[in-house]
Every structure is written in C-alpha cells, then in structure tokens.
Chains A and B, each alone.
Chain A
C-alpha cells in the first residue's frame, strides 16, 4: 500500500486521529493540571480537601499571575475561603489587586477579609480607596459579596 492509499484508508484515519487526540488530551491534562484541579474544586459542592487546596495554592503562588489568569486566581480565592484558609486567601487577593488595581469587587472582598481577620489598618486603606473612587454602588457590591 503506497502512502497515498494509506492516508485515504478510513481505518488508518480513525486510528491515527484517536491516537492524535489522545496525545493532545494527555498533554492538555498535564499542562493544565492545576487549572483542571482548580475548576474541579471550585465547582464541587462540599468543602474542598485542604491538602489539595494547599498544593494548588503553593503551585499557583509560585509564579507571578498575568492579567489573563485573573479568573483562575479569583476561583482560588473562593476555594481557599471555603477551605477556611483565609490568610492564604488574603495573599491571593493581594496579588490580584496588584494586577488589577481598579477591580472594585476584588478590593472590597480583600478589605472585608482583612477586616474579618482584624487587620483593620490594612482593611482601612482599601476602604478608603473604594470610598474615594465611587461610593454609590458600594452597598450593592457589599450585598453581592455577602
């Protein structure tokens, strides 16, 4: 069978693409293992496994987050809160604020978390920024947060 016949063979095409997509699937799961775990924990109903959450936290905080990954860090923050890892959540929120200083929801969330941790001075700074910029929708955002 010459090469032209081979690449027209239906069985060859099916088997080749099964392997091909299999390799892609494996590679994808390896490249995005943290993100996949993150989504799994974020979407899970019960409280997440603390060890897994910490492993994820350590992996993600090892690198500097980019603007495109802000959503992933948001999810990580939520998972950490659910796992009662509030100090780590504050660290995540702090790194998010560095990338998107204008994101009022994240800042409010950070301010409240700091307040709940009785770190009033740090919380105050963020409340001041929020009130300076625009206080009109703050009540609504607070309601959303709660």
Chain B
C-alpha cells in the first residue's frame, strides 16, 4: 500500500500552506500600531504555533512499518529495575512479572534507597540486589553502577512500577539481529485509568490518555526517521552500545533522551516496537503529575544547553529536526499564556491585537481556524482529541513556563521521583494559575457584557469574539479545576475494570447451589460483584474466581452494597451490586489474581477501549465491502454464560453482547467454528438454556483471549421469552440500558 499515507500527508501540506498564508496576511495587513504590544504578542503566539505545528507534522509524516522478528536464542539478558523510594508492594508486582518473562534472563533490583528490607524481599522474589552508598546522578548513576556490576550482553530497563508481559523479550530481542541496533523501545501503557491523565467513557468504550498521541503516533513515525528515543523504561539495550557512549548519559535530569542523542551521534540505530508489552503506574494526582511533567520539561529544554541536537555531530538532518522538535514542544507554555490572557486583556483595555478587525480578516481567520482544526484532527489519524489536548495544556502551561524560565536562568535541576503511592487530594496552591485564569476570563466576559449592555463600546464584533474566547478558555480552566478537585479514590491499589465470571455461595447454600455473578472490577484485595441473588452484609461469602484455566477460591466479606435507588424499578430485587473484600487469600493466590489482572483483564480492556473508527466510516466500510447488516441489534449485555458438555459445565465465561438471534463472548481457549454449544445463560430474570453454533472465532489478545460469535439454533422451554426480555425489545426495560448505567463512572 504505497499511497496509504498520502491523504494524511496531503492534509499536512494543505494545513501548513493555509497557516503560512494566514501568517503572511496577518503581518502585512493586521498589525495594529495603536496596540503594538498586544499585536506583536498575538502574532508571536501564532508564529510559534506554526513552527510547533510544522515540527509536529514533520515527526508524524509517515510511520515505520515493522514486522516483529523471531527471537534470537541464547542471548544473555539482564533486567534492571531501578528504584529509590517506591513502595515494596509496587516493586513486588514488577519483580514477579519480570520473573515470569519467558526468555532466559536475570533480574536485578537496583536500590538507590539502600533498604535492607528490600534486599531480603528481592532474594525471596528470585532477584539479585544491587545498592549504592551514594546516589550520585540519580537514576542514570544507578543504572551505570549496575552496568559495571553485571555481565549480560543485553539490558532491559523497567521503572519500579512497570509490569512486563511474559512475552516482552520474545517480541523485542529479535531486532538485535541487526548489529547496528542499540536499543528497542516499547510503548508505555498505564493501567491505573482513574489517574488524572486519563479520560474514560465507559458507555462509549472510549479512552484517552495524554500520552496516546506520543506513543501511538509520534514514536512509530519518528522511527521512520530513525529518531525514536529511549523513554526511561520498557526498553532493551545492547550493552556494547551503552559502553560505546560511556554508559547512560549524565549531566541532565532526562537521561533517556540524552542517552539516545549520544547513541545516534555515535552511529547506532534505535527501534520502536509498537506493541504494548508492559504496563506502568501513572501519577495518580496533580501534584505528582506536575512533578513528572516538570522533570521532563526541564530536562528536555535543558538539552538545548547540554547536548543541543542542532549542533551535535553525527546526527542526520531529520534526527536534528525531530530532537529539536522535542525541545521546542515544551516551550508552548508562552504562546498558550498569550492565547489565554489576550481576550480578557482585549476587553478590559479596549486594545486590539488585530489592526483591521473587519470582514476581510474574519473570513480568513475562520478559514484558518477551520483548516487547522480539521487538518490536525485528520493528520493525527484518530489520536488527536483537540478538547482533551487543550485541557491538558491548560493544566500544564504554567509548568512549561516555569521549566523554560528555570533553564533560561540556568537553575540547577534536581531529579525528583514521581510519587506512585496513594492518591492525595489536590491542594489549591497547585491550581492557582488555572483559578486566576478562570477568574480573569469570566471577569472579561462580565466586563465585555457590561460594555455592550451600557453601550459603552460600539465594537460588537471585537468584543463578541473576545467574549467567545474568554468563554472557551474560562471553561477549559474550570473543567480542569473540576477534574482535579474531584473526590479522590482512597483505594491504595487500582481495581482493573473487567468482567469475569465468579461463582459465589453463602453458608446457608449447599455446594450444588453455588450461583454465578460477574465482576465489574477486581484486584488482589477485592472485587465489585454483580449478583442476581442478594447477599447478607454480615455473612461471609465463598467465592470462586474463574481466572482462565485456574480457579481461585476464597472467602470475602461484603463491605458495601449499591443502593437500590440506583437501579431501575424493573431490576429491584433482581440485580445487586456489592463491594467485597477478600479474606484468607494466600500471597501466592494474590499473585495469581494480580497477574491475571495484568495479563488478561487489562489487555481485554485495552482491546475494548482501543481507537475505533467513527460510526460514519464504519458504515462506509460495510457498504464498500458489501457486508451484511445484523437483523437484530446486538446489545452490550454482560452476563454469565455456562457452556455445558454432556450436561456438565465445561467453560464459564461472560458475554460481550446478546441479541435474540445470538451472542458473543470472550473465551480463553480457542473454539472451532461450526461447533455446537449447549449454553446456560444466567440473567436477572432467570436462567435460560439454548443451543447455538459458533459462527466466528478470532484471537483478540495474544495467547489468552478469543472472541467467539454464536448464533442460537434452538431454545429450550420458555427460554425464547427470557432471551427476548434480556436483549430488550422494549428499550425501557432493556438490561443493556441498565448495565450501561451501572458501568458508568467518571474518570
């Protein structure tokens, strides 16, 4: 597909062309000598935007297309997990999942915190422990110290909170067939989707993470220019390459990008393997998030003085542009500040940044804005979410400015570790810039409104446009404040969102009477369980968690129950939601649950919430391929399903969707198409029995999740009526409608 990227490239050229035309028009005809400071400030912001957009578009010109090579057997690999003060419970997950990596390796815990208790734990986890007496050069120094004390030919680096998948090395080590490859970087994926940098829409099954555009679009495209870079974690290095540049680069707090520049300048190659193979913990609250962003911004801007990519020898021109783009992208705080404060200043002072604010300017401005927004959206191939991106910039612009100024006055940077423990409530001091901006913008709206009301100004167009932008910026600031001041979760460990079948029984039930419910979320400590029979608050519940081929049995106590007023009338007394805490679960069983969450639930969640084409595009695609439309709409109903073999339950799963004609579910074992299944479907209205034929089966998550589509062939007894009720001819009583509501949560 030679021309697959041509439409995006055309959009890039058109967008930049229109932007350039607009800038030329602006400088020729609209600079206002009466408000020169405002006018020049506004023009600077727009010119900065052009350069930033050009650099961004250059980076995303075309993604590299790579096929994962087969692993090279017999290499000696060391895994480094540098740590400073991270909680041992976080490190435990990392160490255990490192141990589960299939390719032979040795795991080292590199403890800069020098904690004796961690040394003991590391031994228990089967890891080697290395500590330093002093912690010079922070993480870079820690890694360099390990390079001297270990003898593997390849080095994998994971941050303390990163949980790799068992196939991590199988998928990455093969790239080292090429002797020029210095490192292979994989994407960072964060599993705690309740953190500040995520937006989750459970109803639409859409998610947004502030780093999506970087890891899913920019990095694969930078790989095309051989400009991908080490991002501090989840990467494999050839030790020889690191030795060639004298180890991990020091002298800058972003050792990752600094090391990459040195590697490229020495003629090495970098690879970006675009497949999520590990999962990290995102900063949970604004304070820690800002600490992280500040470190990145400060370090990356600092590169301009330490290892300036424009002047370092040995880089190709695209590499110079790409690395300069990284530095330049952090300077966006200044133009953003201008954009945010200019409209209220315009209203309050009566000054105009535009010389002739007339129709001739307005149509060009509208055209420019429209082309930029559409062009950006299209060129980002579905990863550009303008509203969220703007909201992100609103919450960070002040940090970017602070980082830039710190670099300008050459203040010494200190490596601050991002806290990954408990979430803390937002302090008002952290949102002072946004709060002030909010007040200024809404003040500007009031002032402009009063000007029009009292007839003080006849410049309705100018004031109208300024009020509009005040409203946009003020709303962005207000929504950001609203987001970060939401009541925070006091849970220490994140609950993974996903449905698994859970058998439960109370002491009064006989063993044969165990019932099946489904989880809404789960972790090693507890579960949110949906049941179709009530549980007693003061009685322990016996649970059997169906974790693929393994079943973990434990007791649990009910901590809370969802109030019945949250349920619609027709589900009162039929469906219940409980919060349960596990009791008497061994450490080994907790690890099994934890690994299941990382290796199955999380991957299924990512698959479900991945980028989807718009409804319109899907329709076009179907028409183009002459695909048949379903006669009955499949509704996303998640209920337990027991597949029976000779009358005995052989597989307990959870449905993805149900209609009167069929259903689909996710299985952990592959099933052949054409197979006849005997199914018991458990619903709040009673169980129904049906026979169905597998019509389609495909792997959705490597090795452990298969999508199975079944068409009903026969209903037993009154089952057809029940099925009809579940899939809901009557939308008011649809189970789907309720389940969507139940799943709704704000993140």
Q: Which residues from 444 to 480 on chain B have a C-beta closer than 8 Å to any C-beta of chain A?
A: 446-447, 450-451, 454-456, 458-459
Q: Is the CB of A68 within 8 A of B447?
A: no
On whether the beta carbons of B485 and A17 are closer than 8 Å, the reply is no
Of the 9-residue stretches A21-29, A107-115, A118-126, A130-138, which lies at the interface with chain B?
A21-29
Q: How far, in whole Å, are A21 and B68 apart by their CA atoms in the complex?
A: 61
The answer to whether A24 and B443 have CB atoms under 8 Å apart is yes
Contacts of A5 in B (CB 8 A): 485
- What residues of A have a CB within 8 angstroms of the CB of B450 in the complex? 24-25, 28
* B413 part of interface (Cβ distance < 8 Å): no
Q: A4 at the A/B interface (Cβ < 8 Å)?
A: yes
Contact of A2 with B by CB under 8 A:
yes
Q: Is the Cβ of A32 less than 8 Å from the Cβ of B456?
A: yes
Residue in contact with B485 in the complex, picked from A7, A39, A67, A68, CB distance below 8 Å = A7
Q: Mark A57-81, 1 if CB is under 8 A from B, else 0.
A: 0000000000110010000000000
B454 touches A7 (CB 8 A): no
Contact of B454 among A2, A3, A39, A67 (CB under 8 A): A39
Residues on B with beta carbons closer than 8 Å to the beta carbon of A25? 446, 450
Interface size class of B (residues with CB under 8 A): 20 to 34
What is the distance, in angstroms, from A110's C-beta to the closest C-beta of chain B? Answer: 21
Tell whether B427 is near chain A: CB-to-CB under 8 Å: yes
Chain A residues 1 to 47 lying within 8 A of chain B, measured CB to CB, are: 2-5, 7-8, 17, 20-21, 24-25, 28, 32, 35-36, 39, 43
Report the minimum CB–CB distance from A73 to chain B (whole Å): 12
Verify B454–A32 contact, CB threshold 8 A.
Answer: yes
In the complex, A21→B450 CA distance in Å?
11
Instruction: List residues of chain B with CB under 8 Å of any chain A CB.
Output: 34, 350, 425-428, 435, 439, 442-443, 446-447, 450-451, 454-456, 458-459, 481-482, 485-486
CB-CB under 8 A for A35 and B485, given A3-B427, A20-B443, A24-B446: no
In the complex, which residues of chain B have a beta carbon less than 8 angstroms from the beta carbon of A71? Answer: 458
Are A4 and B425 in contact, with the CB atoms below 8 A?
Answer: yes
Cα–Cα, bound, A43→B455 (Å):
10
Q: What's the minimum C-beta distance from A30 to chain B, rounded to whole angstroms?
A: 12
Hey, which chain B residues are within 8 Å of A43, CB to CB? 455
Min distance, Cβ B458 to any Cβ of chain A, angstroms = 5
Partner of A7, one of B446, B447, B455, B481: B481
Residue of A nearest to B426 (CB): A4
Contact indicator B428/A3 (Cβ below 8 Å): yes
29 contacts between A and B (CB under 8 A): A2-B425, A3-B427, A3-B428, A4-B425, A4-B428, A4-B485, A7-B428, A7-B435, A8-B485, A20-B439, A20-B443, A24-B446, A24-B447, A24-B450, A25-B450, A28-B446, A28-B447, A28-B450, A28-B451, A32-B456, A35-B454, A35-B456, A36-B454, A39-B454, A39-B455, A43-B455, A67-B34, A68-B350, A68-B459
Contact (Cβ within 8 A) A8 B482:
yes
Q: How far is the CB of A25 from chain B (nearest CB, A)?
A: 7
How far is A87 from B270 in the complex, measured between Cα atoms in Å?
Answer: 83
Interface residues of A, Cβ cutoff 8 Å to B: 2-5, 7-8, 17, 20-21, 24-25, 28, 32, 35-36, 39, 43, 67-68, 71
Find chain A residues with CB under 8 A from B350 CB.
68
CB of A71 to closest CB in B, whole Å:
5
> Complex: how many Å from CA A25 to CA B454?
11
Known A-B contacts: A35-B454, A68-B459. Give 13 more (CB < 8 A).
A4-B427, A4-B428, A7-B485, A8-B482, A8-B485, A20-B439, A25-B446, A25-B450, A28-B450, A32-B451, A32-B456, A39-B456, A67-B34
Q: CA A71 – CA B435 in complex, angstroms?
A: 36
Q: A57: shortest Cβ distance to chain B, in Å?
A: 18
Q: Which residues of A contact B486 (CB under 8 A)?
A: 8
Nearest CB of chain B from residue A69's CB, rounded to whole Å: 9
Nearest CB in chain B: distance from A103 CB, A: 15
C-alpha gap A21/B703 in the complex (Å):
61
Query: In this complex, which of A4, A5, A17, A25 has the most chain B Cβ atoms within 10 angstroms of its Cβ?
Result: A4
Q: Which residues does chain A contribute within 8 Å of B459, judged by CB atoms?
A: 68
Write the chain B residue with the least CB distance to A32.
Answer: B456
CB distance from B655 to the nearest CB of A (A): 38
Residues of A with C-beta under 8 A to B426: 4
CA distance A13 to B482 in the complex (A): 12
Q: How far is it, in angstroms, between the C-alpha of A17 and the C-alpha of B435 when the chains are bound?
A: 13
**How many whole Å from B318's CB to the nearest CB in chain A?**
46
Decide: A21 and B485 in contact? CB cutoff 8 A: no
Q: How far is the CB of B305 from chain A (nearest CB, A)?
A: 38
A48 to chain B minimum Cβ distance, whole angstroms, is: 16
Instruction: Specify the chain B residue showing the minimal Cβ separation from A35.
Output: B456
Chain A residues whose C-beta falls within 8 Å of the C-beta of B455 in the assembled complex: 39, 43
Q: With a CB–CB cut-off of 8 A, which chain B residues contact A68?
A: 350, 459
Q: Which residues of B contact A17 (CB under 8 A)?
A: 442
Task: Please measure, in the bound complex, the distance between the C-alpha atom of A67 and the C-alpha atom of B459, giving whole angstroms.
Answer: 12
Give the 10 A-B residue pairs with the shortest CB-CB distance, closest first: A3-B428, A4-B485, A39-B455, A35-B456, A24-B446, A28-B450, A71-B458, A4-B425, A32-B456, A36-B454
Complex CA gap A28/B452 in Å reads 12
Residues in chain A near residue B428, CB distance under 8 A: 3-4, 7
Q: For B428, give the chain A residue with the smallest CB separation.
A: A3
Query: How far, in Å, is B207 (CB) from chain A's closest CB?
Result: 25
Q: Which residues of B sit under 8 angstroms from A7, Cβ to Cβ?
A: 428, 435, 481, 485
Q: Hey, which chain A residues are within 8 Å of B458, CB to CB?
A: 71
Please report the C-alpha to C-alpha distance between residue A36 and residue B453 in the assembled complex, in whole angstroms: 10
List, in ascending order, chain B residues with CB within 8 A of A36's CB.
454, 456
- Shortest distance between the CB of A53 and any CB in chain B (Å): 17
Residues on the B chain within 8 Å of A21, using CB: 446
Complex Cα spacing A29 to B454, Å: 9
Smallest Cβ-Cβ distance to A39: which chain B residue: B455
A26–B287 alpha-carbon span in the complex (Å): 37
| B residues less than 8 Å from A8 (CB atoms) | 482, 485-486
**Closest residue to A2 on the B side, CB-wise?**
B425
Q: How far is the CA of A72 from the CA of B535 in the complex (A)?
A: 76
CA distance A31 to B522 in the complex (A): 60
Give complex CA distance A24, B450 in Å. 9
For residue B456, which residue of chain A has the nearest CB? A35
Give Cα distance in the complex from A70 to B36, angstroms.
Answer: 20
